[in-house]
Structure 1
Amino acid sequence: MLVTGATGGIGLETARELARRGAAVTVLGRNPEKTARVAAEIGAAGTLIADLAEMQQVRQVAAEFRDRVGSLDVLVNNAGAFYTERHESREGTELTWALNHLAPFLLTRELLPLLRAGKASRVVTVSSGAHAMGRIRFDDPEFRRGYSGWAAYGQSKLANILFTRELARRNPWLQANTLHPGFVSTGFGQDNPLFSLGSRLGISPQQGAQTSIHLAADPIGGSGRYFVESRETLPAAQALDDGAAYRLWMLSEEYVGGAAYLPSDVEGRGQQPAH
């Protein structure tokens, strides 16, 4: 199993519990020292280091992982952030769009061969109830005009669900689901008053990790679904738009470029869903 954003918060608690249950967990973090310390603490099988806001580093870390292992059973796309002000990565992409959406899109795509070789493989992507206030700005996904931290975050969390639905459609052999972890008391989004309030009043990281753990390790029926408190829940209407999911996938492909590694039998590639 591979868990991104695993050095703190619900990512750490997810990785800790999966390792406790006997999984060979690789933790992916940005800080080498902190990542090594966490890996030793939870008994992880290995570490990976990358700034996932940069697509070149996403590609590099995926290649490194492919060189290490022959298969992957579970990928947990947990890493994410909230930015009150607009920032760009060193590659020139708005950070919310890059880290919260493009990174899990590209990492998942690059690891599909390993997932194809895994056992009952799963992709778990952490979204948020904030997806309900989001819409995909296909003409300006990086908010070059009229940036709002909440709008950018809501768009990215909506993108997580739409990406997961399209991933499930294209790869029926793969179990791909997404979730809202709840309002969790972590250091996430501390420069925003609402997130700061959540850190004082929210549930614990251990509680917030339970749905991620459930989707990664427990029997789950179906794919392309959205879960809250470990139960399947209907997301907002815009998250059920399969035409938008297909359009987002194609836009994301334009951003990250062609894939060097794809299974030859990925189903549905290039076929737009009927709607």
Structure 2
Amino acid sequence: MAWWKICVVAGGYVLLMIIRRITRQRRLCKSPETMKGKTAIITGANCGIGEATALEMAKRHARVILACRDEQKAEDAVKYIRRNTSNGELIVRKLDLASLASVRAFCGKILEEERHIDVLVNNAGVFQSLYGKTEDGFEMQMGVNHFGHFLLTNLLLDRLKESAPSRIIVVSSSLHKGGIIKFDDLNSEKGYDKKKGYSNSKLANCLFSRELSQRIKGTGVNVYCVSPGFCPATSLGRHVMSGFVRTLLTPVVVLLGLKTSEEGCQTIIYCTVASELADVTDGYFASCRQEPWSEAAGDLGAAKKLWELSEKMTGMIA
């Protein structure tokens, strides 16, 4: 390769790194608040955005409960976090959101052990999986992303109220805008598309967040629905690719407008700690700022109907 071509490539790379540095600063939570004395539960905290969220909270001196299906991976996440900060307290607890029995067992243990819960982050999720069903017969994406978190939140709700002011963060996605809730076929038994199934489950997250905020208004528990942005190779970024390879791929991430897991968790952290959100609930947030609800998430009638159906399907009511 001619020297001038090398110079062009190198110059372009440097320019992209400058752009990344500028855009990265815009994506970071600027709130200085500490989480000392606060207990936070994060589902799916063993990798990706969940792990990054746990790390950021630990840095702020939080007591973090990593609620994960795979306890060994959760312990690996603890080791990773400890290599990056000695702050905070880290606790691993088993939670399989594809099993309502596991959700109930987890909540029972938490309620026995924890006198207060200040933050609940519903982060764990299944992304565009092939068709399958949970232990309780739900389509996997809807079962884990919505039904599991629906039951989890409701079983912990009284403790969150007792701990007020407290916050619930529901991690959704901008892809919810392409979703639809088919009340006569929530388990997609009449037809299944994995991309559509994911969007449907993320819309369910939004509708759950909206109805939840209405039902607990005035209790001191605020609800925030978050779109973290698209973060490619979340857990793969650390466990598979070397630091050198990730550095080489950085310009691609910049060009495509994508985020790292660290950047993706920033809006979650913002909704967790920002003092200016103390009186805000029923909000949709992305890139550390509040945004209008989409048309898809604006159907409060559908939100109420989904809640009532979810109560029955998770066994909360007969």
Q: TM-score, normalised by structure 2?
A: 0.75
For residues 139 and 25 of structure 1, what CA distance do their matches in structure 2 show?
A: 39
Pairing partner for 2:311 from 242, 253, 270: 253
2:296 alignment partner AA? Q
Report what 2:196 is aligned to.
151
Report what 2:222 is aligned to.
175
Report what 1:229 is aligned to.
287
2:266 alignment partner AA? Q
Kindly tell me the number of residue pairs found equivalent between the two proteins: 250
1:56 alignment partner AA? A
What's the secondary structure of 2:313's corresponding residue? helix
Deviation at 1:81, TM superposition (A): 1.1
What's the secondary structure of 1:179's corresponding residue? strand
1:186-201 matches, within 5 Å, as: 186-187=233-234, 201=256
For residues 27 and 218 of structure 1, what CA distance do their matches in structure 2 show?
A: 22
- Which structure features the higher share of helix residues? 2
Q: Is the 8 A contact 1:18 1:217 kept in 2?
A: no
Report what 1:3 is aligned to.
42
Percentage identity across paired residues of the two chains: 35
Report what 2:267 is aligned to.
211
Q: Is the 8 A contact 1:48 1:61 kept in 2?
A: yes
Once the two structures are overlaid, the 10-residue window that deviates more, 232-241 or 31-40, is 31-40
Deviation at 1:188, TM superposition (A): 7.5
Pairing partner for 2:167 from 118, 122, 126: 122
For residues 126 and 305 of structure 2, what CA distance do their matches in structure 1 show?
A: 24
What's the secondary structure of 1:226's corresponding residue? strand
Deviation at 1:92, TM superposition (A): 1.9
What's the secondary structure of 1:48's corresponding residue? strand
Q: Is the 8 A contact 2:47 2:235 kept in 1?
A: no
Report what 2:54 is aligned to.
15
Report what 1:139 is aligned to.
184
- Per-residue CA deviations over 1:177-224 (Å, capped at 9, x if unaligned) read 1111011123479xxxxxxxxx96521110001001111121214111
Report what 1:90 is aligned to.
135
What's the secondary structure of 1:91's corresponding residue? coil
Q: Is the 8 A contact 1:84 1:148 kept in 2?
A: no
What's the secondary structure of 2:133's corresponding residue? coil
Deviation at 1:28, TM superposition (A): 0.9
What's the secondary structure of 1:72's corresponding residue? coil
Structure 1 outlier segments of 4+, above 3 Å = none
2:102 alignment partner AA? Q
For residues 132 and 83 of structure 1, what CA distance do their matches in structure 2 show?
A: 15
For residues 227 and 126 of structure 1, what CA distance do their matches in structure 2 show?
A: 10
For residues 104 and 185 of structure 1, what CA distance do their matches in structure 2 show?
A: 23
1:59 alignment partner AA? R
What's the secondary structure of 1:83's corresponding residue? coil
Deviation at 1:67, TM superposition (A): 0.8
Report what 2:75 is aligned to.
36
2:283 alignment partner AA? R
2:300 alignment partner AA? D
Q: Is the 8 A contact 2:234 2:261 kept in 1?
A: no
1:17 alignment partner AA? E
2:264 alignment partner AA? G
Instruction: Summarize the Cα distance change of 1:28–1:41 in structure 2 as closer, same or farther, 3 Å threshold.
Output: same
Q: Is the 8 A contact 1:71 1:116 kept in 2?
A: no
Deviation at 1:40, TM superposition (A): 4.2
- Per-residue CA deviations over 1:27-46 (Å, capped at 9, x if unaligned) read 11111112123234435431
Report what 2:114 is aligned to.
69
